[in-house]
Amino acid sequence: GKVLVTGANGFVSLWLVQTLLEQGYSVRGTVRSIEKKDHIVELFKMYGNKFELVEVEDISKNGAFDAALEGVDAVMHLASPFTDKIQSPDDLIRPAVDGTVSILKSAVKNGGSIKRVVITSSMASVMDLYPVQSLFTEADWNTHSLVEVEKQGIKANPIHIYLASKTLAERAAWDYYNSVKATVGWDMVALLPGMVFGPMLQKVNSPDELNYSMAAFFKSLMSSTSDQTTQEAVFSPLGGWIDVRDVAHFHALALKTAEARDERVLIVSGSIFPQNIVVEGVKINPKIPNKFGTEVPASPKQFDVSKSQKIFGVTYKTLDCTVADSMKDFAARGWLP
Ligand code: NDP
């Protein structure tokens, strides 16, 4: 079959595209602009015409995906902004929500061959930022970030704005899907990954071009100039995490696992503080700065992943492996002390 993957040049998407191609699928990837995307074509050259790249300039526009969806059997929607460089909450919320609704509308209008739509949501849409002791499940919805953004606008913690964008996008997806479900030939799955780490397939010329999760929670911690690293920063619970290759693998499984139908599924390997990453990093490279010792308490924010294990029946990569492979990648780029 042929799968449409949106935001194909992103950190997670590139691993997903690679995984799907390895499994024999044909893939059509969308990017905002085809300019400077030669490296992606190069990356998947060995798959010949099983991989193609198309431009979808503005995902928020009604009908934006009409042409891209032509003849595909499944859709995986990953394009969504993950950045704190914003002027207004709408810079994150509009593309997240409108992009999601727009692709679902196109699937209704033009998706005669589509069997399944997979939406990449996030643990963001279940969790609360405050580090109170909690166990999150798929029955939870993040309401706190929505209230914060409503009250404080751009003055809200930027993480809250991102969490709100993902929560609102997933909610909009279910609302819209439920309103058309009886009339369409496809079903929907939402996957909710923790913070994603791992080696990168995307072209990153310098650390400033890193995607947000690798920049904020990896590069900054491994950097020899992180004198500004504070106790508060490394001991604020990050919540769940997952290896990028596991995220890709779960997405591929979500395409073909019947039991995933109409489910939202948390995919989280474990729960950590940023300091856990530092501790693993130092074991591999003693030059990594560690100002705060090796004792890290258990994270107060836990995630129940029994649903993922029941539906997909797979095991997750462990933090030592993910940190080691990420550091290998960083070392090859000359970014480690
Ligand atoms: P990246 O930043 O690496 O990739 C994001 C992709 O979305 C890029 O293709 C980007 O295109 C595209 N995109 C961003 N903003 C827009 C916009 N306004 N209009 C159109 N396209 C846009 O992120 P990740 O690979 O990390 O994230 C992929 C998905 O996974 C997202 O939905 C994210 O929310 C979700 N996720 C990520 C987690 C993580 O820790 N990384 C954790 C949980 C969920 P361009 O390059 O042109 O900007």
Q: Which among 122, 104, 103 is positioned nearest to 58, based on CA atoms?
A: 103
Residue whose Cα lies nearest atom 14 of ligand 1: it is: 81
User: Pocket of ligand 1, candidates 82, 167, 196: which has the most ligand atoms within 8 Å of its Cβ, to mutate?
Assistant: 82
* Residue found under tokens 């979500």: 254
Residue 237, CA atoms < 13 Å, CB-side half-sphere: 21
Integer Cα distance of 181 and 183 in angstroms: 5
Asked whether residue 219 is domain-assigned, the answer is no
Eight-class DSSP state of 216: I
Instruction: Indicate whether this model's pTM tops 0.80.
Output: yes
Q: Is 221 part of a structural domain of the chain?
A: no
15 lines ligand 1 (CB under 6 A): no
Q: How far is the CA of 165 from the centre of ligand 1 (A)?
A: 12
Question: From the CB of residue 38, how many other CB atoms can be counted at a distance below 10 Å?
Answer: 11
Instruction: Supply the residue whose CA is at minimum distance from atom 45 of ligand 1.
Output: 32
Assess whether the C-beta atom of 59 lies below 6 angstroms from ligand 1. Answer: yes
Q: Is residue 325 included in any domain, yes or no?
A: no
Give the pLDDT of residue 11. Answer: 98
What b/e readout covers 248-259, taking b as 16+ CB neighbours within 10 angstroms?
bbbbbbbbebee
208 vs 72, 91, 197, 322, CA distance in Å? 35, 20, 16, 21
Please, are residues 77 and 118 in contact by the beta-carbon 8 Å criterion? yes
The end-to-end CA distance of the chain, in Å, is: 45
In 10 A of CB 209, how many CB atoms? 10
Distance 154 CA to ligand 1 centre (A): 20
Specify the pLDDT at position 36.
86
Mutate to test the pocket of ligand 1, among 5, 19, 32 (most ligand atoms within 8 A of CB): 32
Residue 93 Cβ contacting ligand 1 at under 6 Å: no
Q: Is residue 322 situated within a structural domain?
A: no
Q: Is residue 224 part of a domain?
A: no
Q: What's the pLDDT score for residue 226?
A: 58
What is the whole-number distance in angstroms between the Cα of residue 13 and the centre of ligand 1?
8
| CATH number of the domain residue 13 falls in | 3.40.50.720
Find out whether the beta carbon of 274 lies less than 6 Å from any atom of ligand 1. Answer: no
CB of 217 within 6 A of ligand 1: the answer is: no
Atom of ligand 1 nearest to the CA of 94: 18
Is 226 a member of any domain? no
Mean pLDDT, consecutive 10-residue stretches, the chain (337 aa), reads 98 98 98 94 97 97 96 98 96 98 97 96 91 88 95 94 97 98 97 98 93 92 71 90 98 98 98 96 92 93 97 95 96 90
Q: Is residue 104 part of a domain?
A: yes
Token duo for residue 55: 């431009």
CA distance linking residue 221 with residue 224, whole number of Å: 8
The pLDDT value given to residue 133: 76
Structural domain boundaries, residue 140: 2-197+243-269+303-314
Let me know if residue 62 belongs to a domain.
Answer: yes
The domain tally of the chain equals 1
Q: What distance in angstroms lies between residue 119's CA and the mean position of ligand 1's atoms? A: 12
| Ligand 1 mean position, distance from CA 114 (Å) | 23
Phi, psi at 292, each rounded to 5°? -125, 30
Give the C-alpha separation, 312 to 260, whole Å. Answer: 8
The pLDDT value given to residue 227 = 62
248 φ, ψ (degrees, to nearest 5): -60, -45
The ligand 1 atom at the shortest distance from the C-alpha of residue 195 is 40
CB 2 within 8 A of CB 72: yes
**Residue 195 CB less than 6 A away from ligand 1:** yes
Q: What is the distance between the alpha carbons of residues 129 and 145, in angstroms, rounded to a whole number?
A: 8
